[in-house]
């Protein structure tokens, strides 16, 4: 008798399994296909990203070498860097934006350079250090043309304790004060910077010369 009961129970389990397979088998198969498709899509996306990064690296290096060549068309190369900045992967996008802006400034397109620096400084996807560098460069190249209030607002956070660009921002604060005719504030900024042992030596020496030249 126990053998019969065991056999009946086994048949019942088999029947339940068959019914569950009929009811849910399609769903399970569909889920399995979705998982496989997801894995394939993820691997495909990884391959696409790697290919894009490799291509961007090659273009970046090619344009960098072209810019260093004698007689290079820096304006055209700057435009190509700007193109890479708008379409490349994040790392090369940031580096290309900085390179494009520098080349535009070098070739006299100050407005184009300021626009690129301003755009990068507002890009929350970029690391803070690069956004701050873009703000610093915007202030440096716009110190004679931009609104002093905007310049001061940009330089304030950059000159704060802990900023990677603190010394350079303090120098620009002194130059901004000098532009506004406030020689006393400018001299105070330059004196403080000249005595700042954490600032680069060359920058400290330049600040000392500027302070001495004011003679206030």
Question: Does one domain contain both 177 and 108?
Answer: no
By residue range, what is the domain housing residue 89?
Answer: 60-142
In a domain, 4, yes or no: no
pLDDT above 90: percentage of residues in the chain: 41
Q: Residue 162 — left, alpha, or beta (φ > 0 → left; ψ -120 to 50 → alpha)? A: left
User: Quick one: tokens of 12?
Assistant: 């019942």
Non-local CB neighbours of 68 within 8 Å, separated by 6+ positions: none
CA distance 14 to 194: 87
In a domain, 75, yes or no: yes
Residue 64: pLDDT band (50, 70, 90) is low
In a domain, 50, yes or no: no
CA distance 67 to 205: 31
Q: Using alpha carbons, select from 120, 179, 122, 171 the residue that is nearest to residue 148.
A: 179
In a domain, 49, yes or no: no
Question: Does one domain contain both 163 and 187?
Answer: yes
Residue 140: pLDDT band (50, 70, 90) is very high
Burial string for 160-171 (b: 16+ CB within 10 Å, else e) reads eeebebbbbbbb
Q: What is the arithmetic mean of pLDDT over 19-36? A: 48
Q: Which position has the higher pLDDT, 153 or 58?
A: 153
CA distance 126 to 91: 8
Residue 188: pLDDT band (50, 70, 90) is very high
The average confidence (pLDDT) of the chain is 78
pLDDT tens profile 75-118:
888 888 888 777 766 667 888 888 888 889 989 999 999 999 99
pLDDT tens profile 168-179:
999 999 999 999
Residue 25: pLDDT band (50, 70, 90) is very low
Q: How many domains is the chain built from?
A: 2
Question: Does one domain contain both 166 and 195?
Answer: yes
This prediction has a pTM of 0.69
In a domain, 44, yes or no: no
Residue 65: pLDDT band (50, 70, 90) is confident
Question: Does one domain contain both 91 and 135?
Answer: yes
């Amino acid at each position: 008798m126990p053998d019969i009961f065991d056999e009946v129970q086994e048949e019942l389990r088999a029947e339940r399994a068959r019914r569950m397979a009929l009811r849910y088998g399609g769903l399970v198969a569909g889920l399995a296909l979705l998982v496989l498709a997801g894995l394939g899509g993820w691997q495909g996306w990884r391959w696409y990203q790697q290919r894009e990064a490799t291509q961007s690296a090659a273009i970046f290096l090619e344009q960098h070498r072209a810019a260093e060549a004698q007689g290079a068309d820096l304006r055209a190369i700057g435009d190509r860097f700007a193109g890479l900045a708008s379409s490349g992967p994040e790392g090369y996008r940031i580096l290309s934006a900085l390179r494009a802006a520098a080349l535009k400034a070098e070739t006299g397109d100050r407005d184009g350079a300021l626009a690129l620096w301003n755009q990068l400084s507002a890009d929350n996807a970029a690391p803070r250090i690069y956004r701050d560098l873009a703000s610093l460069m915007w202030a440096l190249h716009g110190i004679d043309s931009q609104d002093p209030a905007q310049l001061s607002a940009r330089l304030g956070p950059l000159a704060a304790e802990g900023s990677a660009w603190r010394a350079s921002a303090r120098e620009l604060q002194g130059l901004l004060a000098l532009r506004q005719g406030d020689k006393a504030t400018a001299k105070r900024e330059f004196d403080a910077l000249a005595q700042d042992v954490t600032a680069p030596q060359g920058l400290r020496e330049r600040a000392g010369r500027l302070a001495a030249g004011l003679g206030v």
